[in-house]
Amino acid sequence: MKKTAFEKSIDPASQTLLQKAENEGIETAWDRYEQQLPQCSFGQLGVCCRNCNMGPCRIDPFGEGTEKGVCGATADIIVARNLLRMIAAGAAAHSDHARDAVLTFKKMSEGEAGSYKIKDEAKLFSLASEYGIPAEGKSREEVAVELANAMLLEFGKQNGPVLCTKRAPGVRLRLWSELGIEPRGIDREIVECMHRTHIGVDNNATHILLQGLRTGISDGWGGSMIATDVQDILFGTPEPKKSTVNLGVLSLEKVNLIVHGHEPILSEMIVEAAENPELLELAKEKGASGINVVGICCTGNETLMRHGTPIAGNFLQQELAVITGAVEAMVVDVQCIMPSLGGLTGCYHTKFISTSPKADFPGTVRMEFHEEKAYETAKEIVRAAVENFPNRNREKVSIPEEKQECMAGFSVEAILNALGGSPDPLIEAIAGGAVKGIGAVVGCNNVKVQHNYGHVNLVKELIKNNVLVVTTGCNAIACAEAGLLVPEAAVLAGEGLKGICEALGIPPVLHMGSCVDISRILVLASAIANRMGVDISDLPAAGAAPEWMSEKAVSIGVYVVSSGIYTVLGTIPPVLGSQEVTALLTKGLDSVVGASFAVEPDPFKAAKMMLEHIDKKRKALGLK
């Protein structure tokens, strides 16, 4: 049965535009999902194998039909191999993002990318010291070149450890080493995943999944962490900033340019170019009162936390932004970009501009972006948006009124600064019971879940029970749209957490950045664990991804659990076709890495599970 706009999303702005889409005969992701139903049950259970041309093979999960593929692979082997390939793809996405950031950093250091500058010199020298690079007698550019080269070696090294893993507590490092899952090199682990899942290589489910843990760690404590570090040097380490969020940030009178994707290498330049006096004057000539740059997804999170740039929405709102009829240009780089945007923008005046050499889409205007001419290309892109403004059809424009204030940019450095330079006040609040624990809630949107329903309700339940929430990615945007990223949201928190928030002037939900910035959460958890003299798995902390959908989210979940954080998933991963793999993920990992996965679509029940876990960890630590 076709769902109504109100059943598809809890967000009023999205509901308005979903209704507009239906009235105008415009197709959205929700329509395409309904056209796919019923979805393939073999695929949902993970028991379909296409890894060689003797297949595709499928296993009857109930034992009433075929129990082995042509090569003899069982459901356990097939499910484990499919999961490992998902982890590899997710780790590759984050790590390739990181590589591009480091290459830009290197070009900047060598004077080949003059549009970029070092914005956080203190972090540059701190990281140089961490990488064993002496700075005495050298210019900052010389130090930067050496640091960039050292970071690039982390991708191709053949024997580990990956350097950033040293930030984890010593007890966690020893555990990874004993288990043989300490990553040797970022690219090596991803390549080995692909090798192991080729026909006739690794055919033991447990052995396959251990490689999955190692690859996930190479992402969270490798690629993602490097991406965060480099972006902080180039664009500045985030500090708390106020802004606005939701589709109402689009302007009726200004040129609307949306940056969408995940790599801030481009969006940073777009934000700068949009302030160019020549382009602002051109906008006035074309009848606009200015240029309005807004974000979608994690590129939006990056510019939000460094510049206060408004965000129009998260993953499932990208089509809705175009449907407003008010967007002059949708500018994209990589990851989480729907190819449907090509056909959709053709229904309006919007230019769909693709910029990455490694990603193209149907119906785009190609304006390839290279660091050597970064600012010049950004100006060309902004100019294209400005010149498109007169083509806007005012009769088709419908911008929702909904927009919400938010506070974002809580890097680890910003959080520690707010606490006086040490995690001690937070530890004392946890020990005294004012803060019960920490909840890390992250991840995508998924059309299988009512848009933002899982995100918002799970987080509300946690803060109501005095759990301080840290968030990134699409969850962060969902929380912002629900009004949870402002200090005033403390009224929704339990008395203990409310008092802490009011004393510090912070929200009960802290926006820590984009998807790759989950690495910030790992660093914060490690700092707290080290200060308390325990492992991360001992902390009263839990993670969740209420509406996850991407392979990146699989890699994230794996490295979070591998780090010792119990994690609840709101959508079911394709593993239920194997009892062995399901048991390993939900129970077996506890005895291996001190944490495991759980699956619970109901956000209220998921919150209860997280609270029970936090209470168990508090009791084990002897806390009230």
Q: Which residues are annotated as a binding site for [4Fe-4S] cluster?
A: 40, 48-49, 52, 57, 71
Q: State how far the Cα of 474 lies from the Cα of 452, in Å rounded to an integer.
A: 9
Residue 354's H or E segment, with its range, is strand 351-354
Residues of the binding site for [Ni-4Fe-4S] cluster: 262, 298, 336, 444, 474, 515
Give the dihedral sign, CA 535/504/224/157. Answer: negative
State how far the Cα of 231 lies from the Cα of 572, in Å rounded to an integer. Answer: 33
87, 92, 104, 343, 554 from 215: Cα distances, Å: 7, 10, 25, 36, 11
Dist CA 232 CA 230 (whole Å): 5
Q: Tell me how far CA of residue 235 lies from CA of 104, 111, 254, 422, 532, in angstroms.
A: 12, 17, 26, 24, 32
Query: Is the Cα dihedral 546, 552, 554, 560 positive or negative?
Result: negative
Distance CA 134, CA 129 (A): 7
Token pair in block for residue 534? 């325990």
501-519 residues labelled b (16+ CB within 10 A) or e (exposed) = beeeebbbbbbbbbbbbbb
- How is residue 319 written in tokens? 């089509």
Containing 210, the helix (H) or strand (E) segment is helix 205-218
Q: With beta carbons less than 8 A apart as the criterion, state whether 239 and 308 touch.
A: no
Q: Which amino acid belongs to residue 178?
A: E
Q: Which helix (H) or strand (E) holds 366?
A: strand 365-366
Task: Sort strands 57-58 and 48-49 into parallel, antiparallel or unpaired.
Answer: antiparallel
- DSSP secondary structure of 24-67: HT---HHHHHHHHPSPPHHHHHT-EE-SSTT--EE--TTSSS--
Nearest to 269 by CA among 386, 372, 122, 410: 372
Half-sphere exposure (Cβ direction) of 229: Cα atoms closer than 13 Å:
27
